[in-house]
Amino acid sequence: MERLVGWCFFILTGVASAMPAHTPVPGGIAIVRLGAASHATESPAIHFQGRRVLVVRNANDWLAIVGIPLDTKPGTATLEVEGSGERPPVTHSFVVAAKQYPVQKLTISDHRKVDPQPEDMKRILREQEVITKVRTHWAPGEAVDLALMLPADAPLSSRFGLRRVLNGQSRNPHNGLDLAVPRGTPIRSTAAGSVTFAGDLFFAGKTVFVDHGQGLISMYAHLDEIGVRVGEQLARGQRLGLSGMTGRVTGPHLHWTIYLNGTAVDPEYFIRP
């Protein structure tokens, strides 16, 4: 139903079909009209929870494409316009609706991936600093491709937002989509962008991050082989590696995450029906 609401929003208001679905729920996306763009040459600088937000022009309107963190409480959320020069500053708001995600219970055979040892924790903390820097990076760009393609032609095996229980212990919710691909399947970039990370992580295994501009960033994890390097410019659909089962996994698959303004959102909202 929520996806239908999102599509109806765009049909009724005439927003371009390349837009993701308007789904203002935790882990979803809010599309907020900022005002007329007919006489403006530069997009307004908008922030949500202290982070810059992606802004696109649609006909005569500026639209903010806002990623909503999974831990957001239902209620009114506020965007702030940078440099408005007014006190109080100009703001825009939207309402976040409640959403409950199901529980997923998994058994991990490598117990260190569930209960890391002290030396593992040192590595994990170092990697978390790197990941935070990569996923919150802001690169300017007007032509951001929002009609994302699947990184592989495969069924979904595990959806976004699942509240995970690993070996009987509660862990962070699932922050992406899992695609059921056999080991060695070519994985492609979901849109044009620049490689900002390519390496081996404790939990995610061999991983690639691609920056698509204005805080839209994709992540591809558990790869068997990485075929790109940091700084490389990728075209939409270009191969970046081969799927595998590195890191914390129960079997071969691809984990695919999409970040907006530094927060993971459900990639399904970007996929056309």
Architecture of domain 103-270 in this structure: Distorted Sandwich (2.70)
The CATH number that domain 2-96 falls under is 2.60.40.1590
Task: Give the strand pairing for 103-106 and 163-166.
Answer: parallel
pTM exceeds cut of 0.95: no
Average pLDDT, the chain: 87
**Does 224 have pLDDT greater than 80?**
yes
Q: Domain spans of the chain?
A: 2-96, 103-270
Query: Binning pLDDT at 50, 70 and 90, where does residue 18 land?
Result: confident
Q: Same CATH topology for 2-96 and 103-270? A: no
The predicted structure's pLDDT at residue 13:
38
Predicted confidence (pLDDT) per residue in 76-88, tens digit:
999 998 765 556 6
Predicted confidence (pLDDT) per residue in 167-202, tens digit:
777 777 889 999 999 999 999 999 999 999 999 999
The predicted structure's pLDDT at residue 203:
92
